[in-house]
Amino acid sequence: MKYTLGISPCPNDVWAFAGLLSGAIRVPGIELAIELHDVQELNSALASGRYDFAKTSFLAALQLSSELVMLRSGSALGFGVGPILVGRAQPTRATKPHVLLPGPNTTAHLLFRLYGPSEATVEQVIFSDILPRLSAGSADMGVCIHEGRFVYQSLGLDLVLDLGARWEADAQAPLPLGGIAARRSVPAASMAAVDEAIRASLAWAQAHEAEALELCRRHAQELDEHVLRAHIELYVNAHTIDLGTIGVHALNILSERARAVGLVAAQTPPLLVRATLAPC
């Protein structure tokens, strides 16, 4: 069997898939072609049918729920992991700020819709362009994801709002950022095999830290060793190994919030999670 898998170049994804990327871990009976792309590119490619498996924003997964099943491993979910709204202390267009977002199908976009300023001019850009453009003064604010939360202060930017912290206070649940989706056309046995391989890949990274970190450096936007380690420690946790009942509960809440603001249509079916196939 041959399948395509898309992941992001962010340290937490590269770390989780380090065993598979290095060839140390293989999926029995399956040839997995892995590609690395920006998260919004992955969301769009998954919607177009390009991938059999892909890391996707949970908002995008909810929007495509009729076509997908979420794997139990490989997710980014937790407390203190949320996107942050950053900018200059004195924006040039204070009444209607120009805000950069990392993609219309990202969970960051949903959080901005929930908690960000209602009067704003929004522009969707690749996440890696947000901090450079804010630093250059071509926008007032931007929603930072991935490594951005660790380096924005070094660029003279200020924290405007911690969107993840607002979610935690509101939902009383960890924030589901993204996970590994499989197309429903993929046989259940193949989904299970890939799910187990991701767990094995995570275990390999823990046992081969130097090799896993070197893979992360090859693809990361920010190469500072401290930032890489901080990123991995924050985003790779017990929920990455298994989404678990807490993760499914958090997805239920995310689905409710997304439907409430119209980012997921009311008639969209529940998103399913593999193994238990628990609706969320």
Dump pLDDT digits (tens) for 33-50: 999 998 899 999 999 999
Residue 90: predicted pLDDT: 57
Dump pLDDT digits (tens) for 135-178: 998 999 999 987 777 888 888 899 999 999 999 999 999 999 99
- CA–chain centroid gap for 28, Å, is 27
Q: Which amino acid is at 249?
A: H
Residue 249: predicted pLDDT: 94
Domain ranges of the chain: 2-78+174-279, 84-171
Q: What mean pLDDT do residues 5-11 have?
A: 94
Q: Out of 52-61, 145-154, 237-246, which region has the weakest mean confidence (pLDDT)?
A: 145-154
Mean pLDDT of the chain: 91
- Total-model pTM: 0.91
Residues 6+ away with beta carbon under 8 Å from 70: 61, 179, 180, 181, 182, 243, 251, 271, 272, 273, 274
Q: What mean pLDDT do residues 113-127 have?
A: 92
**Domain 2-78+174-279 identical in fold to domain 84-171:** yes
Dump pLDDT digits (tens) for 182-241: 999 999 999 999 999 999 999 999 999 999 999 998 887 666 788 888 889 889 999 999
Q: What mean pLDDT do residues 77-93 have?
A: 79
Fold held by 2-78+174-279: D-Maltodextrin-Binding Protein; domain 2 (3.40.190)
Residue 254 backbone zone (phi > 0: left; psi -120 to 50: alpha; other: beta): alpha
146 tagged catalytic: yes
* Backbone angles phi and psi of 142, in degrees to 5: -155, 155
Active-site option among 98, 146, 231, 239? 146
Residue 276: predicted pLDDT: 57
Residue 147: predicted pLDDT: 73
Fold held by 84-171: D-Maltodextrin-Binding Protein; domain 2 (3.40.190)
Closest CA to 198 of 71, 78, 76: 71
